[in-house]
Amino acid sequence: MNRSLFNSEALDSSLSNILAHKFRSLLTILGIIIGIITIVLVASVLVGVRNNIILLFQGLGTDNIFAYHLNRDPGSTRLQPEEMTRRPLKPEFAHALLSICPSLKDSAVQLYVPSIVAGQAQTARYRNVENENIQVQGATWNYPQVTSAEMRSGRPFSLKEEERRAKVCLLGSNIAQSLFPSSDPIGKQVEMGGAIFTVLGVFEKHEGGGFAGENRRNNVFVIPISTARLRYPDADTVILYCQAKPGMRDIALEEVESELRRLRGLKSGDASDFFLSTSDSIIQQIDRITALFRIGTFIISGLGLLVGGIGVMNIMLMSVTQRTREIGIRKAVGARKRDIVAQFLLEAAVLTTIGGLCGVSLAGFLGLILAYFIQGLPAVPPAWAVFSGLGVSTMVGLLFGVWPAVKAARLDPIESLRYE
């Protein structure tokens, strides 16, 4: 390409023309800005949420198989009609699976207790300090080991403490911080549900896990499953954690499914009335959901970019009309058609690239605002979203600037010089 195309002189001329009509230029690229903000901001949130959820399920163990009687999160209340007739899993299944499935290394049980019991919210209390944001769970003694839940301090309860239904508990980091902001909780007695529990340990703080980056494991109040079944006989939300031996998770998945079908009394032609998942399958499901959100976002953003592109075309056509005499002079002194095309294409590309820069900057700023008001919300723009936004905005300028550039290049120099 001739060095006269897209040189510094052409760039200076493009910037001068844009700055000479600041308000008009801003209105022209407004659609570009909105489209880029939408793309970058939504991409930032989706990527951050995905990373947080990956941290959550990878933290529960990459070799683990999760068994639940519903096809959704235990905290969900929206059930399909077919799911409403399913029986919950039994805690005793964990021992049965471990004894029959040779590919399993260990198994544990988690029992969810309703957040409201007898019309009252579950509350943890130490002296005059209360915390209602707790998730009471019953668990087997080996639950922390199977789910890789590290202890920040103290220890898990033992098998003997589980067998004798001891009133002991393990606290999530948020609960420990709220009840004991300046003291060691180990050995302290906490009131919960009308009973006194001795704190044996505090879980390490877990990062990631949801839309706002908060891991719900930081708000757990874990007691022995035997104690939970005694105090909350109506609680039946059971999750089984089956830990496969290294390198045998796929085999373990088949064995667990087969054995659970037998334990549930299902015949060969019956559909399974339970759901098995792994960290990989859950992440794949999340990727499918976020992909749908991403497609919808791109469609909406595409409309904004289309409007912005049409605006760029209109403003460039107007610029061709206003600068007809200038174009004639340039041609008279030797400018070729491709020089004129390059000049107007560069101006359109610079205009939309400025819009892209504004959109990316505003998206980052809005992300910081959201992160400030929604604690832990991940909204840092990924590099691919930033560069994609800038690239798309530049391409919009080049695409919609073609017709005005061609029209300018086709002007007759004699007629252009006569234009007033």
Closest C-alpha among 378, 284, 298 to residue 46: 378
149/9: higher pLDDT: 149
Percent of the chain with pLDDT over 90: 35
pLDDT > 50? residue 122: yes
Residue 214: per-residue pLDDT:
54
d(CA 77, CA 70): 11
Q: DSSP states of 255-293 as a string?
A: HHHHHHHHHTT--TTSPPSSEEE-HHHHHHHHHHHHHHH
Question: Is beta strand 116-117 parallel, antiparallel or unpaired with respect to 104-112?
Answer: unpaired
Better-scored residue on pLDDT, 165 or 388: 165
The structure's pTM equals 0.65
Residue 420 CB-half CA count within 13 A: 0
Question: Which of the listed ranges 243-252, 366-375, 381-390 does the model predict with the highest average pLDDT?
Answer: 243-252
Q: Which residue has the tokens 């087997």?
A: 140
More confident residue, 34 or 238: 238
CA atoms within 13 A on the CB side of 138: 25
Asked if residues 213 and 378 have their Cβ atoms less than 8 Å apart, the reply is yes
DSSP 92: T
Nearest-angstrom CA–CA distance, 319 and 20: 12
What residue type is 385 in one-letter code?
Answer: A
Measured CA to CA in angstroms, residue 181 lies from 170, 174, 199, 217, 268 at distances of 16, 10, 15, 19, 56
The rounded distance, in Å, linking the Cα atoms of 192 and 133 is 12
Tell me the average pLDDT across 74-95. Answer: 79
| pLDDT tens string 198-217 | 999 999 987 655 544 456 78
Rg (CA), the chain: 32
Q: What is the pLDDT of residue 2?
A: 45
The answer to whether the beta carbons of residues 390 and 349 sit under 8 Å apart is no
* DSSP at 409: H
Q: Report the alpha-carbon distance of residue 272 to residue 93 in Å, rounded.
A: 15
Arithmetic mean of pLDDT over the chain: 82
pLDDT of residue 411: 66
Q: Is the pLDDT of residue 255 over 90?
A: yes
In DSSP terms, 104 is beta-bridged to 244
Q: What is the pLDDT of residues 282-312, one digit of tens each?
A: 677 777 777 777 787 777 777 777 877 888 8
